[in-house]
Structure 1
Amino acid sequence: MLQQVMTAPGVIEFNEVPVPEVMPGQVLVKIQKIGICGSDIHVYHGKHPFTKYPVTQGHEVSGEIAQIGQGVEGFSVGQKVTIQPQVVCGKCYPCRHGKYNLCEELKVMGFQTTGVASHYFAVDAQKVTPLPEDMSFDEGAMIEPLAVAVHAIRQAGDVTGLKIAVLGAGPIGILVAQAAKGMGAQSVMVTDISDVRLAKAKECGADYCVNTKNTDFGDAMLEYFGPDKADVIYDCAGNDITMGQAIKHARKGSTIILVAVFASMAKVDLAVLNDHELDLNTTMMYRNEDYLDAIRLVNEGKVTLAPLVSKHFAFRDYLKAYQYIDDNRETTMKVIINVQE
């Protein structure tokens, strides 16, 4: 079978390797689709702080069961599945208390351990989540980023009836906006500095879309949410400007949740954060319940994923996919690799 390997930043090779042996407790997945995310792009540019080379990438994935290992129950050959890419110790305090997404020894497939970018991938059955048979493989590959969004919404508790602001209209920001609406939020405002991305957010159901190059964020909050402003603000852009907007204009005593990863040390006004008794919360990946809810939201039509797919590339054109993303940053949402082509 073919396996992708990034040997250095911007350098991708394909190697012929044996189909992996399926050990007891494992299943063999025939990989169909892989999504490229922002963290993958950091690896491509040599800017991911926790990834060494060579590395086989791929963590947003869909496929079908090709073989079932000894002792595995509940799966069938040909069944559509996705894979949760966390590799955890199971022994540390977070793992022992059900928060394995915060494992002290956390590794993620495609970054600190081998990713799924190959024709077949053997994996522990407990990391495999079934997909509905009528769900497309494209949608299946996007359950992972949607699970990120679902987990982020959960960090605010029950959002039923709440007014939500989402800063950043990239794929994660738009998924957070959709997840908020799907999980009961009253209304959602999305901000960005790109009209193209904001149009995509509107297509995906955002109630209000604001270009903060032209409109002050605080003014938009008052216009669309009234004097009580937003109940929760999600920073899905992750920079001093957006976090500064959130802290400056949040309703006193309300909540800000950081979803994006800051690329550099933040310089924000913690004095205002303190003075306004704001809750600054964070979110990290997902757990199994987030995958299940992500699948449910798509199945119930509360989240639509197809508008976020920008382009497909054949498996051997992995490098061209990265080059396309670099050349079309503003207009690109999600690029999908067709592994079996």
Structure 2
Amino acid sequence: MKAIRFKEPWKVDCVEIEKPTPGLGEALIKVKMAGICGSDIGAFRGSNGLVSYPRIIGHEIAGEILEIPDDNKKGLKVGDRVVVDPYLYCGHCYPCSIGRTNCCTDLKVLGVHVDGGMTEYFCHPADMLTRLPDEIPWDLAPISEPLTIALHGIHRGGLIAGEYCVIIGAGPIGLLAGMVAQAYDAHVILLDLVQERLDFAKSLGIEHIINSGKEDVVERISQITNGNMAQQVMECSGANAAIRNAFDYVCNAGRITLTGWPKKETLIPTDIITRKEIDIRGARTSAGEFEEALELIRSGKVDVRAILTKVVSMDEVAETIIDIEKNPGNYMKVNVKMD
């Protein structure tokens, strides 16, 4: 079968590998569509220190079940359309015991720590599959995975209707988080340095946009919120300066969720944390959020098609990844049709 593999940094190929055989408790899936993620581009560059090589990529995966144990917990059957939860957890460490499986002390992510699913066939634990609603076409299904990450950041901040939510970074996760927040009837203020991305966000219906390189962000947020500042700030860029600035954007007794991954430590103002009594919460990947993500897509409350740049074939993946790395501003989400 065909698979997309990084032999080493800067080396991506469509290769032939052996079709897998499912192990105990696993399902065999005919992969229909897989997404290219920003983390895949980091792995291509060699800048993701968690990735080992050679590595088959792919953690945004949707397909059809060909084989599955009869006793699987979700009652899935051969022929069912499913999406894959790519975060493999041990099930017995402390985080797993309290349901926070994304914080597993031995977490393994598809396409990062272990081989992923940008392949024609893929085996995965049967209990880590979620049925795909009939109304959702294959080309949109993989976007449910980044949507779970956006959802997890919103959930970690406890956002409720009527609150103001500042989102830093108008990439795919920030845009999805903005659409989720508005689906929750909150007021979104989206920040970015790139005006074209902000204009695109506005075209999606995002309520407020601020160019953080050209405007006084604190003043603008104060104006929008009638001087109160934001109840939740969700940092999606991973930029150290943006992380620091989040403390100026949040209101007294507000919450900050950190979804972006900075490459180095950030000096943070502990005096502001104490004075405002800010809650700071990490937000890593997702845990149990696929069903809600799929319902938001099915209902149209989050328009994921708006961020789908294009669909390519497996034979086009290598050149597409190379171009995304060179021209990231030309892309939001790219999915790969596997047959």
Shorter-chain TM-score tier:
over 0.9
**Is the 2:168–2:234 contact (alpha carbons within 8 Å) kept by the matching residues of 1?**
yes
- The aligned residue for residue 269 of structure 1 is 269
Q: Is the 8 A contact 1:31 1:119 kept in 2?
A: yes
Map residues 233-248 of structure 1 onto 2, 5 A cutoff: 233-248=233-248
Query: Which runs of structure 2 are paired with 1:138-153 in the superposition (5 Å)?
Result: 138-153=139-154
Q: Is the 8 A contact 2:159 2:181 kept in 1?
A: no
Contact kept, 8 Å, 1:167 with 1:235, in 2: the verdict is yes
Give secondary structure in 1 for the equivalent of 2:251: coil
Q: Please give the alpha-carbon distance, in whole angstroms, between the structure 1 residues aligned to 2:281 and 2:265.
A: 17
1:206-225 residue CA offsets vs partner (Å, 9 max, x unmatched): 10111112211112102221
Higher mean Cα deviation, 174-183 or 196-205? 196-205
Structure 1 letter corresponding to 2:111: G
Bigger shift: residues 138-147 or 23-32: 23-32
Pair 1:230-2:253 in alignment: no
Residue-by-residue CA offset, 1:175-227 (whole Å, 9 max, x unaligned): 11111111232x11101111111122122221011111221111210222111
* Worse-matched range after superposition: 235-244 or 165-174: 235-244
Q: CA deviation at 1:140?
A: 0.8
Q: Secondary structure at the match of 2:177?
A: helix
TM-score by length of 2: 0.95
**Partner secondary structure for residue 273 of structure 1:** helix
Unpaired segments of 5 or more residues in structure 1? none
Matched residue type, 1:48: N
Q: Distance in 1 between matches of 2:272 and 2:71?
A: 56
Q: TM-score, normalised by structure 1?
A: 0.94
Deviations 1:262-289 (A, max 9, x none): 122223333333333222211111112x
| Shift, 1:170, TM fit | 0.4
Alignment of 1:327 onto 2:319 = no
Stretch moving more, 64-73 or 9-18: 64-73
Gaps of 5+ in 2: none
- Cα distance in 2, alignment partners of residues 267 and 330 from structure 1: 29
Cα contact 1:25–1:70 (8 A) shared by 2: no
Deviation per CA, 1:33-64: give whole Å up to 9, x if none: 11111211111000111111011110011111
**Structure 1 pair 3/55, CA: closer, same or farther in 2 (3 Å)?**
same
Instruction: Provide the aligned length of Structure 1 versus Structure 2.
Output: 338
Residue 87 (structure 2) pairs with residue 107 (structure 1):
no
Structure 2 residue identity aligned to 1:157:
G
- Superposition RMSD on alpha carbons, in Å? 1.6
1:30–1:119: 8 Å Cα contact kept in structure 2?
Answer: yes
In the alignment, which residue of structure 2 is the partner of 1:38? Answer: 38
Do residues 167 (structure 1) and 168 (structure 2) align?
yes
Contact 1:28 1:67 (C-alpha < 8 Å) held by counterparts: yes
The answer to whether the Cα contact below 8 Å between 1:200 and 1:307 also exists between their aligned partners in 2 is: no
Q: Which amino acid aligns with 2:65?
A: I
User: Which piece of structure 1 moves more, 247-256 or 132-141?
Assistant: 247-256
